[in-house]
Structure 1
Amino acid sequence: MRLFMATLSTETNTFSPMPTGLSGFEDFYLRHGTATQDPPNLMTEALHLWRAKAEALGWEVVESLAAIAEPAGLTVAGTYDRLKAEILGDLTAAGGADIILLQLHGAMVAEHVEDCEGDLLQALRGLYPDAIIGVALDLHCHLTERMRAASDLMICFKEYPHDDATPRAEELFDMSLRLSRKDIQPVMRIYDCKMLGLFLTKQGEMQNVVQEMNALEREPGILSVSLSHGFPWADVADVGARVLVITDADPELASRVAEQFGRSFVARRDAVTTDYPSIETVLAELTPQGAAPVVLADMGDNSGAGAPGDATFLLRAMLEHGFDNFASGLFWDPIAVRLCQDAGEGAQLQLRIGGKLGRESGQPLDIEAKVMAIRSGLGQHLGPGLEPLGTMVWLKLAGDVDLVINDLRTQVYHPEAFEQLGIDLARKSVVAVKSTFHFYAPFARIASKVIQIGSPGGSCPDFGRFTYTRGGQDCWPQVLEALE
């Protein structure tokens, strides 16, 4: 038995002005068949698990590409074609495979291909029509009929933040094994909820939604239930939340359960979504208390959702409101990083920070700062794996304001993004992080309060700010009629 496996992952914000080129993968994570020789990260955990389980069964394992880029705008046509060709070429060179397992994101859009995952799966199916093809997906994927038709099994993460990548990978492998032994005949059906939103599964009604999916999977004939939250900052035909149900040789059951669960989810739309306050509302009411800091999430400038990561709206407002004891980051500013490297630690500099990528970045901010520390090669934890941070610079402004800038676009996941530089977050009244949800659990442990701000920017959670022409215009909350 031969297992072929690969990873291709980026999340495309079609409203972003930043193209996703080959350098986006090279800077973040690009391995040519060697990812399982590295420590696992979120999108390579599956490869490690699949290799271990396959080799324990005595299978041959062919490991192909592992390519991961921080979310940005449309993937350059030549870049997608090159990565796709490498995967197809590796499979052909191996002489095909009995089972093909892929860890994909599910929301990759290229200049010339709207559904990259469906395109890749269709190409694999065309080369080896008898192979079992299984796909693990981030829950912020676009579930498309093209993807479903070209694969035998698809499973999405159930949790956001994503701390269940390994259980989902194990689930996919085990079902693929059962299918190879002809113990099951999986049938997949999708129900379109026609909803745009952000759904945090660690609190409130979304916890019940996840528990209900797990309960359904214990029902006779049901193999798997996934809720794709969709990636809402994408103007594509298949945007929005969808339910995927896999049954054992029962298409009617799959369709019925998908629709029933989908309608139940839609009916709870107000309970599973949140209205996020504006910057002005939060700062006007903010009265930090206790020994622990208040943590603010700058949701509108989360590079993990394709925003530039250099917006100055929140930072400027905090300075204008007189806040003088806070830490803020990560600001993506390679130019400023280079200037700080040239000047060295201890230098006092005048710098122009952020505001470089366009109107969603705000205006540049002129500051005078001392270079406190410069570090390279550090990482921050997202689950068990470490995510790279690039070259980081700690800047000290007047009062006790600490800024962290870097040259690799990435959101903040963990307090260690600040603490490794020497910043003592416990001494801060406020810590402002450029992130949406992934920061939540690690920072909640050090915070007196966590406030997520509906700030302006490329990943603003107010979807009414974006113009949809392909599919989102038919989804709630754009139109209430979409749910009737």
Structure 2
Amino acid sequence: MKMFMASLATETNSFSPIPTGWSGFKENLHTKRASYGETGPYATAVTVWRRRAEALGWEVVEGLATYAQPAGPTVRAVYEALRDDILDDLRAAMPVDVVLLSMHGAMIAEGYDDCEGDLLSRAREIVGPAATVGLEIDPHCHLTEEMLAAATAIICYKEYPHVDIGERAEELFTICADAAEGRTRPVMRDYDCRMMAMYHTPFEPVRGYVDRMSAMEGKDGILSVSLAHGFPWGDSPRAGTRTLVITDGDAELAESRARDLGRELWDMRHQLRSFPGIEEGLGRAIASNAFPVVLADFADNAGGGAPSDSTFVLRAALDRGLKDIAFATFWDPVLVSMCIDAGVGAVMPVRVGGKIGPMSGDPVDLTVTVRGIKHDAKQHFGPALTGLGDTVWIEADGVHIVLSTRRTQTFHPEVFTELGLDPAQMKYVVVKSSQHFYAAFEPIASEIIHLATPGAIPPDYTIIPYTKPDDNYWPKTENPFAGDRP
């Protein structure tokens, strides 16, 4: 057997003011040797696949692996160059039996609503109908008809936060290896749940739902079950939640199980978590008798395409006179450079945040002390290390702020501790993240509060200014199934 593998990924926020270009891809991961020791979520899958394939004595050809921090649509010429690089290597590797791709699932470029479907379709044209083509994607994806038509099998991560990327890569390899060697015949069917929501898997009712999905696999001909959460801030015609079932040759079973799972999810929609606004959330934190309380600045998550420099929560905390409060991570390369030049201990007037546009809020002027500097800082996301660039810790009268030169969400307390600040000693910790912080911060938190903040990815799915999906989804429409089914 001969296998070709590659990775091309970014999550596109159609409403972000930040374009996705060459710098976004080259500052994170851009190599054709990602499986030989590179770290990060989009090196994980190819590393697993090389190990599994070589253990079977397969020949492995590795193409480009690259990833850009989520932002606005990818520049057309950049996407086409990256895509064609992968396809040229695939052509050169022919004939191949198996193609495995790691992508995000919600990548949009100028002129392309569906980059995953485009790449998969072109790859299928090259390898022909007999080859096995597998795709591993983030659940915050747009599961399109083109993707389903071109792939043999598609697997979404099951967990949010995404702590199971390696496990899902293992699962996809097993399914595709079995198919390539003639042991199974995967058939996929999906179901449109007509919902826009966040599905945080550590909490009920989603925790039990995901466990029931997993329990179906390996029984009665069901090979895999995925929940495609959807990415609400991508202006895609297929935006929204879908269930996906893969069976061994039984299309009717795949369709019925996907429909049943979709209807089960619909029935629990009013049990899904809702988030307090800034003032209510801060009030809850202040009333707590145990610390630290960790608060998530949901809408300023760089991992969803936000600038990561919004000041709405910072301003509210200052207005309340809060102290022993720590914020991370503000993206501000210019201010980081100034603080590094001034050095630890320097006292200086600074302007924090509010630099990218209206969704960042107004800048905040403070007189601060530079408390810590860390060059080439790193933080863990699960087992993978991700870069923050250079980071700086500044303090203004008990208000502690971490700044970075690289735009990224906060995954781990290391963003603080690497600078010498112990978040466990704070009363309040505010992280610019929607959910991926949860696994690492939960052990130190007395309570975790997700805030419904304003910004680039506000968790109000009724106000997203779509131009391509219609309004026939919950909660924008109370019953989008009216007239379709009981």
Same fold (TM over 0.5): yes
User: In structure 2, which of residues 417, 420, 443 is the aligned counterpart of residue 419 of structure 1?
Assistant: 417
> Do the aligned partners of 2:347 and 2:369 also contact (CA within 8 Å) in 1?
yes
Give the Cα separation in 1 of the matches to 2:158 and 2:284: 35
Pick closer, same or farther for the CA change 1:50–1:286 going to 2, 3 Å: closer
User: Which deviations, in whole Å up to 9, do the C-alpha atoms of 1:103-148 show, x marking residues without a partner?
Assistant: 1110000011000000000010111113210011111111011001
Task: Name the counterpart of 1:405.
Answer: 403
User: Which deviations, in whole Å up to 9, do the C-alpha atoms of 1:397-439 show, x marking residues without a partner?
Assistant: 12x2211011111111111111110002222111111111111
The 5-angstrom pairing of residues 18-417 of structure 1 reads 18-31=18-31, 33-129=32-128, 130-271=130-271, 273-287=272-286, 289-290=288-289, 292-398=291-397, 400-417=398-415
Task: Name the counterpart of 2:16.
Answer: 16
2:443 is equivalent to residue 445 of structure 1: yes
Give the Cα separation in 2 of the matches to 1:49 and 1:284: 45
2:448 is equivalent to residue 481 of structure 1: no
Give the Cα separation in 1 of the matches to 2:262 and 2:403: 42
Per the TM alignment, residue 98 of structure 1 is displaced from its structure 2 partner at its CA by: 1.1
Give the Cα separation in 2 of the matches to 1:212 and 1:428: 38
State the AA in 2 paired with 1:438. Answer: H
Pick closer, same or farther for the CA change 1:255–1:115 going to 2, 3 Å: same
Give the Cα separation in 2 of the matches to 1:50 and 1:457: 38
> Do the aligned partners of 2:42 and 2:66 also contact (CA within 8 Å) in 1?
no
User: In structure 2, which of residues 455, 463, 466 is the aligned counterpart of residue 465 of structure 1?
Assistant: 463
> Do the aligned partners of 1:291 and 1:426 also contact (CA within 8 Å) in 2?
no
User: Which deviations, in whole Å up to 9, do the C-alpha atoms of 1:156-186 show, x marking residues without a partner?
Assistant: 1111111111121111111111111111111
Per the TM alignment, residue 291 of structure 1 is displaced from its structure 2 partner at its CA by: 5.7
Give the Cα separation in 2 of the matches to 1:288 and 1:324: 14
Per the TM alignment, residue 201 of structure 1 is displaced from its structure 2 partner at its CA by: 0.7
| DSSP-derived class of the 1:37 partner | coil
Per the TM alignment, residue 100 of structure 1 is displaced from its structure 2 partner at its CA by: 0.4
| DSSP-derived class of the 2:281 partner | helix
| DSSP-derived class of the 1:379 partner | strand
> Do the aligned partners of 2:94 and 2:127 also contact (CA within 8 Å) in 1?
no
State the AA in 1 paired with 2:200. Answer: L
Give the Cα separation in 2 of the matches to 1:451 and 1:171: 33
User: Which deviations, in whole Å up to 9, do the C-alpha atoms of 1:277-317 show, x marking residues without a partner?
Assistant: 11111223432555631111111111111111000000011
> Do the aligned partners of 1:13 and 1:233 also contact (CA within 8 Å) in 2?
yes
Give the Cα separation in 1 of the matches to 2:30 and 2:318: 39
Give the Cα separation in 2 of the matches to 1:276 and 1:285: 12
**Tell me, which stretches of 5 or more residues in structure 2 are unaligned?**
none
State the AA in 1 paired with 2:86. Answer: I
User: Which deviations, in whole Å up to 9, do the C-alpha atoms of 1:45-74 show, x marking residues without a partner?
Assistant: 111111011111111111111111111111
Residue identity over aligned pairs, in percent, reads: 46
User: In structure 1, which of residues 420, 426, 429 is the aligned counterpart of residue 427 of structure 2?
Assistant: 429
> Do the aligned partners of 1:143 and 1:228 also contact (CA within 8 Å) in 2?
yes
State the AA in 2 paired with 1:412. Answer: T
Pick closer, same or farther for the CA change 1:292–1:346 going to 2, 3 Å: same
Give the Cα separation in 2 of the matches to 1:12 and 1:74: 6
Give the Cα separation in 2 of the matches to 1:101 and 1:262: 27
**Tell me, which stretches of 5 or more residues in structure 1 are unaligned?**
none
Give the Cα separation in 1 of the matches to 2:287 and 2:10: 37
CA-based RMSD of the aligned residues comes to 1.3
- The alignment of Structure 1 onto Structure 2 pairs a total of residues equal to 481
TM-score by length of 1: 0.97
Pick closer, same or farther for the CA change 1:457–1:207 going to 2, 3 Å: same
